Structure 1
């Protein structure tokens, strides 16, 4: 009998050969979906599908050199989230406990400094880390206004004492995929980490819940890949939906939007172009999460068994970014989940070659994998 995809007290094993590959694919996949959505390429042109030396240089009709795919601030903060979690693991490996939420806050303050912002006078000054030297993470890429406002305050947002209690946007969801990559922990540990991390900048309970559910889905997708289930994205979303029902906090809106995504992906008569409209993709965290997951679910449903994982990944990103709502956000969610479920073989190499943060994402992933004791690459 296969293991549950989300267990209360046990989780991913970094010794699995699939673990390291899924970590790389989740981070790179999320960055690709973010960059393709942020650049508007998918809104204006069909996505390039050819590979190899004869592949077109850029989106069809441009006639110019290959366009650079630029990540947004969402991917920058996702990498800082992973670095904060790595710092926690470093302390644990040395036999010391660390305040996980404080590590996240200090990491986000270090990111704030990379954006040319003054350090808040009321906040402690974090020590620099290697990630702060990565140049692409200093680029100012339309950062979320809510995130900036919260971090500029110099105060650490908490669930019980929210800084911005009505903030309902998806900024915290986008940086939460790394929580799902934590090894050895179950959802009872993952949930408060993600919720408290979201509360640093987003005070609305459903925004915090949606962030936790995104972590659940990524975690379950890695486990589903390990178990070899035929539809890993669908199984991961189902496991996350069931687990989210156990949370003792506001969750109704997030669950409703998840159910919308599952129903939309299953409809045989659905016009794929209507998927974002049907899900109501907007700026709210539950809607944005559902939009990204709905795209990943639909892509998998159109090609069960993933005979061509790159085709599934392309389709997921195409559906997630081909709308006027929040294409970078939904693209990042679809890319991270599909990558975690299918691995690096699903990532189109010509897209990876054009990603401006490819080296930064890979370096951050490898640092993480070394620290958690993952199996080395074959």
Structure 2
């Protein structure tokens, strides 16, 4: 697997990219946190608990406002894996799915262990963040898929019947590889989805989501990015369910005011393609970031995955400055998210100055060890 390299970044381009990276990761976390308290509830139960408009601002989950779920945790480990893949490339070893799998295994360790193990020197700094060791309702498919060191592949996927949205919901960071061709972005997301969610629809939804984020991170409109993802999907066997869901989302976003019922038409099945379509619909139909995220969590379907995916889209589209400051102030793990986002932006724009086959910054290698 290869990628385009050698891009020259001006200061304004670096700042814009950094803002979109921050926006994407914070957006995922905000949508996840907004949806976490009502995930699994029907719209009537949501309204009974939170009023006629449902959840309009963060409310407590896991003992605090702004708490995130395993979806944000895995998104952060996706970023960590992508940086590590770039660093390991200096060794002549270039297989990003393997580096992502190792990152996901580090996440799986956080779900088993009480806290960081200082003896594991190759874990890097993210795995030493104690707040990530909170177990936030990881699904059975995730835990089974990462229960051993065998990596699922497209030829031999883990959980081949699992079509849930969790793999897609961790895939926004693939779209931030703006120096890569979209086809390669999609392929990487698809291959990494197969490590836990082997159903073709789950894998293709992850690829489509990554390509949409990729378009947004490069300055395209949301509708244009979706149309491009549809064009890429058309060449993939078995794409019809994902393509149909995205086409429906585009058509539904045009007429009339958005409603929870319209979101539920797409998301209530709980499938990856349904949640992806609902997230796209909410990002398109929402008047602003707040409205889009409120739409994404107040409905009959899975609130946290829909919110996380819609947040990733809105954050990539508008950047960090468009996100609600009051919501960000209460967001769990915000300093970690910002630190990781800035590291990713630095790696993608200035990586050659940080490491090369002939040498590397000791500080950078301490943060992102090459490993074996």
TM range (shorter): 0.7 to 0.9
Assess, with a 3 A threshold, how the Cα gap between structure 1 residues 170 and 280 changes in structure 2: closer, same or farther. Answer: closer
- Give ranges in structure 1 of 5+ residues lacking alignment: 1-7, 50-57, 119-124, 226-231, 304-311
Instruction: Please tell me whether residue 221 in structure 1 is matched to residue 202 in structure 2.
Output: no
**What is the deviation of 1:245?**
1.6
Query: 1:195 maps to what in 2?
Result: 190
- Give ranges in structure 2 of 5+ residues lacking alignment: 115-119, 352-372
Distance in 1 separating the partners of 2:193 and 2:156: 13
Query: 1:345 maps to what in 2?
Result: 321
Instruction: Please tell me whether residue 297 in structure 1 is matched to residue 273 in structure 2.
Output: no
Distance in 2 separating the partners of 1:219 and 1:13: 18
Instruction: Please tell me whether residue 34 in structure 1 is matched to residue 71 in structure 2.
Output: no
Q: RMSD of aligned C-alpha atoms?
A: 2.6
**What is the deviation of 1:373?**
2.4
Q: TM-score of the superposition, structure 2-length normalised?
A: 0.82
Of 241, 260, 263, 2:251 maps to 263
Instruction: Please tell me whether residue 91 in structure 1 is matched to residue 79 in structure 2.
Output: no
CA contact (8 A) 2:4 2:181 kept: yes
Instruction: Within 5 Å, give how 1:1-378 maps onto structure 2.
Output: 15=10, 16=13, 17-40=15-38, 43=46, 44-45=50-51, 46=53, 68-92=65-89, 94=90, 96-116=92-112, 127-224=122-219, 232-246=221-235, 248-268=236-256, 270=257, 272-299=259-286, 303=287, 312-373=288-349
List per-residue Cα deviations over 1:129-162 (Å, max 9, x = no partner).
1110112211110012101011114321111012
Assess, with a 3 A threshold, how the Cα gap between structure 1 residues 67 and 114 changes in structure 2: closer, same or farther. Answer: closer
Matched length:
329
Secondary structure, aligned partner of 1:115: helix
List per-residue Cα deviations over 1:4-30 (Å, max 9, x = no partner).
xxxx97999765232111000000011
Secondary structure, aligned partner of 1:266: coil
Distance in 2 separating the partners of 1:33 and 1:116: 26
CA contact (8 A) 1:9 1:188 kept: no
Secondary structure, aligned partner of 1:224: coil
Which stretch has the larger CA shift, 163-172 or 23-32?
163-172
CA contact (8 A) 1:292 1:333 kept: yes
Distance in 1 separating the partners of 2:8 and 2:265: 37
Distance in 1 separating the partners of 2:7 and 2:329: 29
CA contact (8 A) 1:173 1:211 kept: yes
